[in-house]
Structure formats: structure tokens, C-alpha cells
Amino acid sequence: MPQLATSAPPNSSLHLTPDPRVSPLKMSSALAERGGAIDARTGYRATTRSFVSLRPPLPLPPADAPLTFPAFALSLLPSPLPAHPALLDAATGEAVSYPAFLSQVRALV
């Protein structure tokens, strides 16, 4: 579990900073660039009462690229497609495979 070190005197507002001994793989460098004190274990920022992702930022395509969101999201799927179902209906037990799901999504786009 990452340890946090305080950088404030005991009677002032608390500001947590990551322990330098924590592996950089466990904490995204993006956290250091964002403003405010962020808990390195949970991603919670007390100043805004919100959570931030602990994962590195995802590179997005250029704004002028003619790309729909479904096309971009589906481009992130691994190749070959996973063998497990893409969707499961809990009530009926019906499963939809990735190839079937992709063909249905592409028919809508």
C-alpha cells in the first residue's frame, strides 16, 4: 500500500504528497501534473470532492479527424477479439459474442 507523507505543519490544512519510494507504475505521472492534493491510492481530490483516474490519460484522435465515438471505442478492442461474450442478459442467459456485437453496432453507425 502506498504511503503518503504530509507537507504541512500539524495545525494547518493537510496536503498529501506521494511517498517518493512508491513505484511510478503504481501512480500515474498525470496525478503529479493535476492541481490539488490527490490521494495516490484512491484518486480522491478533497478540494473538489471528486475522484480522478489513476490510469494514464488515453490518447484521443485529433479533433478534426472524421471519426465517430463508436468507431473510436471499437478501435480500442484487442485483436484477436476476446473469446468471452461481449454482452450477457442476466434474465435470460442469452450471450452475444464480440463479432455479433460489432456487426450490430456497425449496422447502427
pLDDT single digits (tens) 35-61: 568 888 899 998 899 998 888 887 877
Q: What is the pLDDT of residues 66-82, one digit of tens each?
A: 888 888 888 888 899 99
Confidence of residue 106 (pLDDT cuts 50, 70, 90): confident
Mean pLDDT of 82-109: 91
Compute the CA torsion angle 66, 71, 72, 76 (nearest 10 deg). -150
Strands (E), 21-101: 44-45, 50-51, 87-88, 95-96
**Does 22 have pLDDT greater than 70?**
no
Going by pLDDT thresholds of 50, 70 and 90, the confidence category of residue 65 is confident
pTM of the model: 0.42
Confidence at residue 35, expressed as pLDDT on a 0 to 100 scale: 58
Q: 46: helix, coil or strand?
A: coil
HSE value, Cβ hemisphere, 13 Å, CA-based, for 18: 24
- Model pLDDT, residue 97: 94
pLDDT of residue 8: 40
CA angle 27, 29, 35 (to 5 degrees): 105
- Round the average pLDDT of the chain to a whole number and report it: 74
- Annotated domain spans of the chain: 1-57, 69-108
